[in-house]
Amino acid sequence: MAFCNTYGPWALVTGASSGLGEHYSRQLAALGLNLIVVARREERLRTLADELQQACGIRVLVLVVDLLHPHAVKMILDGIGRRDVGLVVSNAGFGSSGPFLEQDPAMLTRMVRLNCELPIKLLHAFAPHLIERGCGGIIQLASTAAFQCTPWMAVYGATKVFDLHLAEALMVELGPHGIDVLAVCPGHTETEFHEVAGIAKAAIGGAAKPEDVVRQSLRQLGKRLTYVHGRSNRLMIRSNRLVPRAVSAWAAGRILGKRLASQDDKS
């Protein structure tokens, strides 16, 4: 009930049609929050909405929006109307893999727009309402990729540094207004992310379950600035701090390069 009072009655989840966004929707619905679910795949959103409305007795507003549309945030605001949004889960995002020079710069630019420009516009649009309420929350999906450079996923890693720094800075700015901002940093997680990014499942191994990432991160909202999922990821980040940046860049390049090369060999 306390969660609902602080972050309800409505939560907005971008990228709710699969992966982490779907699980944020499921777990927030189980906590009693009404949902506004946003993505492009309408059928998936409607199936999820029907299921959660029946199972949890909550209301779900489905907004089919391509978040790369220049007026995406206005379309969301228009769809929401006067609903009182207390929690924004800025989750939609995608990645890509491969040598920088072999990737389409137009696609990389779309990635920057979805992963970086959209959170700016979304949080800028919703934060004033949260401030007016005097309580609420923002969850921004970043990644463990934000803690060192990611050769062969160069642009993706850079977008996640942006997300991490944006969320951490906003916690400092918005915290005094009663708003809890949490940067969530999963490592490899079993979602559709890798398929979209062109990374074979076999190349990752030991991926976390999205429901675990979501459950643990929701527990950290209001308690921490940043949540890194998984002990080994936290350990890796700590050890990275102890070595020169050149060494951590080289190590990241070796690990990612090996994984991608092994998937190419198998294909």
Ligand X SMILES: NC(=O)c1ccc[n+]([C@@H]2O[C@H](COP(=O)([O-])OP(=O)(O)OC[C@H]3O[C@@H](n4cnc5c(N)ncnc54)[C@H](OP(=O)(O)O)[C@@H]3O)[C@@H](O)[C@H]2O)c1
- 9 vs 198, which CB is nearer to ligand X? 198
Tokens at 129, concatenated: 């309402």
- 23 vs 171, which CB is nearer to ligand X? 23
- 95 vs 151, which CB is nearer to ligand X? 95
Q: Is 266 a catalytic residue?
A: no
Tokens at 45, concatenated: 């959103």
Minimum Å distance from CB 92 to ligand X? 4
* Count of CB atoms situated within 10 Å of the CB of 121: 17
Nearest residue to the partner ligand X, using Cβ: 19
In the block, tokens 């921490």 appear at: 224
Q: Is 67 a residue that touches ligand X (CB under 6 A)? A: yes
Q: Is 186 a residue that touches ligand X (CB under 6 A)? A: yes
* Closest by CA position to 164, among listed 152, 176, 147: 147
- 6 vs 63, which CB is nearer to ligand X? 63
**CB burial of residue 153 (10 Å; 0-12, 13-18, 19+):** buried
| 9: preceding bond cis by omega (within 30 degrees) | yes
Q: Is 40 a residue that touches ligand X (CB under 6 A)? A: yes
Minimum Å distance from CB 192 to ligand X? 3
Q: Is 160 a catalytic residue?
A: yes
Q: Is 116 a residue that touches ligand X (CB under 6 A)? A: no
Half-sphere exposure (Cβ direction) of 248: Cα atoms closer than 13 Å: 16
| 3-class state of residue 102 by DSSP | helix
Please give the angle made by the CA atoms of 158, 159 and 162, to the nearest 5 degrees. Answer: 95
Q: Output the CA–CA distances (angstroms, integers) from residue 46 to 52, 55, 59, 64, in the order listed.
A: 10, 14, 12, 10
Q: Is 162 a residue that touches ligand X (CB under 6 A)? A: no
Minimum Å distance from CB 132 to ligand X? 27
Name the active-site residue from 24, 160, 201, 223: 160
- 69 vs 254, which CB is nearer to ligand X? 69
Check if the beta carbon of residue 108 is closer than 8 Å to that of residue 152.
Answer: no
Q: Which stretch binds ligand X (CB under 6 A): 92-100, 122-130, 172-180, 258-266?
A: 92-100
Going residue by residue from 191 to 220, which x/- string records binding to ligand X, judged by CB under 6 A?
Answer: xxx--x------------------------
Q: Is 121 a residue that touches ligand X (CB under 6 A)? A: no
Tokens at 172, concatenated: 């400092």
| 3-class state of residue 179 by DSSP | strand
Q: Is 189 left (phi over 0), alpha (psi -120 to 50) or beta?
A: beta
Q: Is 20 a residue that touches ligand X (CB under 6 A)? A: yes
Q: Is 21 a residue that touches ligand X (CB under 6 A)? A: yes
- Footprint of ligand X on this chain (CB under 6 A)? 15-21, 39-41, 66-68, 91-95, 114, 141, 143, 186, 188-189, 191-193, 196
- Report, as residue numbers or ranges, the catalytic residues: 156, 160
